[in-house]
């Protein structure tokens, strides 16, 4: 083999040095290529009690693990030689537009995760052109979210309280603020057993223990933000000094029935969606009431452990009621490919909760922007690789749900 010394002019094109990024936050977020990357950053930067509240689920956390495994167990079936030079990720959902086939799910105690909280999420949603959902347990007011996202789509998530008048006051405020969709959550008659929170002594505000102080020593930035900004409180509630589970048990009404749902529907002028559907029979029942949409959800695995996996339910529910109501899905979504698979199997739209919160904890509003960008890029890339250029071209033929768990026949027991 003939050898020669390289010439400087030949080496120059191969020796392009990246300009150093001096902004530490931007450098940190740019290095995150997946939602799991954001999760790892969030874990480093957030005290254990706050991180575990987001990251954890109920009891043995089997429901959450199975939901994520269900997305891992899919097989895609791409079509080749299609023109995918451009792709369209827009979606019409519940009477309005969304630039992407997902919105930000309602989350509680959000400013506990990072002090920018719901306002960061609302700003990011406005920038991306996607819906933002505010929780009854949110730490920003209905009116403040409207101010943060004045021209975008805001949704309000309702827990029905024992005090019905107080519940409907919130509904009236959301309507007056121009929120176009009401998500009525129906899977919390009592609080799930969130064992991480109990072990961490997670309260609002947080209780300082020796372990808390030692944990904080490694995360001074979080405590500086927490102690130098507005005290944490629920925008729709009075102050509370017990555990999360005690708060939920004291507030939420275990007597709520289908009749109450019909009553709420009569009070709300916009679109009504029932969140927390976990069986085909219940999907049919609420559809018969004339709701505009349902969310297949097991509350992110945070209520009944070993609950049905929403993604597994999706094909049958979409077949049974998809022509009569819009089917949305949450729980377990960690990538744009997960979202594409859900759309292919019949979901009209999806909601992301933890994925958004990981971004928030990793870098505030900039972190939420990064989470949305990651999901958006993954959606576009997956669509191109599948050979589709619009979401409507996605069909069940593009996805197979691989069977890891299957029910045993009754006669085999």
Domain locations along the chain? 25-400
Element (H, E) at 294: strand 293-296
Round to whole Å and give the CA distance between 309 and 8.
60
Number of H helices and E strands in the chain, helices first, is 18, 12
Grade residue 410 by pLDDT with cuts at 50, 70 and 90. low
Which of 77, 123, 299, 389 is labelled catalytic? Answer: 299
Grade residue 21 by pLDDT with cuts at 50, 70 and 90. confident
pLDDT, residue 354, reads 96
Residue 30, judged by CB atoms within 10 A of its CB (0-12, 13-18, 19+), counts as exposed
Say whether pLDDT at 197 is over 60.
yes
pLDDT, residue 344, reads 98
**Mean of the per-residue pLDDT values of the chain:** 89
How far apart, in Å, are the Cα atoms of 401 and each of 24, 120, 153, 276, 379?
Answer: 41, 35, 32, 22, 18
Percent of the chain exceeding pLDDT 70 equals: 91
Query: What ranges in 244-353 are assigned the alpha helix state H?
Result: 244-251, 258-267, 280-288, 310-321, 336-344
Round to whole Å and give the CA distance between 108 and 251.
14
Round to whole Å and give the CA distance between 298 and 99.
26
Which tens digits make up the pLDDT trace of 332-379?
A: 999 999 999 999 999 999 999 999 999 999 999 999 999 999 999 999
Active site residue 299: yes
Place of tokens 């990011």: 124
Nearest to 379 by CA among 347, 403, 354: 347
Tokens of 210: 């020796």
Round to whole Å and give the CA distance between 359 and 274.
27
Which tens digits make up the pLDDT trace of 202-214?
A: 765 556 566 766 7
Write the DSSP string, 388-410: -SBGGG--GGGEEE--S--PPPG
Grade residue 238 by pLDDT with cuts at 50, 70 and 90. low
Question: What DSSP state is assigned to residue 371?
Answer: H
- CA geometry: angle 188, 191, 192, nearest 5 deg: 100
pLDDT, residue 213, reads 64
pLDDT, residue 411, reads 62
Say whether pLDDT at 15 is over 80.
no
Phi and psi for 352 in degrees, rounded to 5?
A: -120, 130
Tokens of 89: 């990720």
Round to whole Å and give the CA distance between 57 and 195.
8
Which tens digits make up the pLDDT trace of 266-276?
A: 989 999 999 99
Grade residue 285 by pLDDT with cuts at 50, 70 and 90. very high
Q: Does domain 25-400 have CATH number 3.30.2130.30?
A: no
């Amino acid at each position: 083999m003939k050898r020669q010394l390289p010439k400087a002019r030949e080496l120059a094109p191969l020796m392009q040095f990246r300009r150093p990024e001096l902004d530490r936050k931007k450098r940190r977020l740019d290095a995150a290529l997946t939602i799991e990357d954001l999760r790892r950053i969030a874990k480093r930067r957030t005290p254990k009690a706050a991180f575990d509240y987001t990251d954890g689920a109920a009891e043995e956390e089997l429901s959450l693990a199975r939901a994520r495994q269900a997305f891992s167990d899919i097989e895609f079936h791409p079509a080749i030689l299609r023109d995918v030079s451009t792709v369209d990720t827009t979606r019409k959902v519940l009477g309005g537009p969304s630039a992407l086939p997902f919105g930000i799910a309602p989350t509680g105690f959000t400013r506990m995760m990072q002090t920018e909280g719901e306002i960061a999420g609302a700003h990011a949603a406005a920038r991306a052109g996607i819906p933002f959902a505010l929780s009854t347990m949110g730490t920003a007011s209905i009116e403040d979210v409207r101010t943060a996202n004045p021209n975008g789509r805001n949704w309000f998530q309702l827990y029905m309280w024992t005090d019905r008048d107080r519940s409907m006051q919130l509904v009236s405020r959301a309507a007056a603020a121009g929120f176009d969709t009401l998500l009525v959550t129906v899977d919390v008659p009592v609080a799930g057993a969130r064992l991480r929170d109990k072990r961490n002594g997670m309260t609002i505000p947080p209780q300082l223990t020796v372990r808390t102080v030692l944990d904080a020593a490694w995360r001074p930035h979080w405590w500086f933000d927490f102690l130098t900004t507005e005290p944490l409180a629920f925008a729709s509630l009075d102050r509370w000094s017990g555990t999360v589970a005690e708060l939920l048990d004291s507030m939420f009404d275990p007597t709520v029935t289908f009749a109450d749902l019909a009553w709420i529907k009569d009070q709300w002028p916009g679109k009504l969606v029932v969140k927390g559907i976990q069986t085909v029979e219940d999907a049919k029942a609420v559809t018969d009431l004339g709701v505009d949409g349902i969310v297949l959800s097991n509350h992110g695995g945070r209520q009944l452990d070993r609950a049905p996996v929403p993604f597994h339910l999706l094909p049958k529910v979409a077949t049974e009621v998809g022509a009569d109501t819009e089917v949305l899905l949450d729980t377990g979504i960690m990538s744009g490919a997960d979202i594409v698979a859900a759309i292919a199997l019949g979901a009209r739209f999806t909601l992301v909760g933890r994925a958004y919160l990981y971004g928030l904890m990793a870098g505030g509003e900039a972190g939420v922007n990064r989470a949305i960008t990651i999901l958006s890029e993954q959606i576009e890339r997956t669509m191109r690789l599948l050979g589709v250029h619009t979401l409507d071209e996605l069909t069940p033929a593009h996805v197979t749900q691989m069977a890891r768990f299957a029910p045993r026949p009754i006669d085999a027991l």
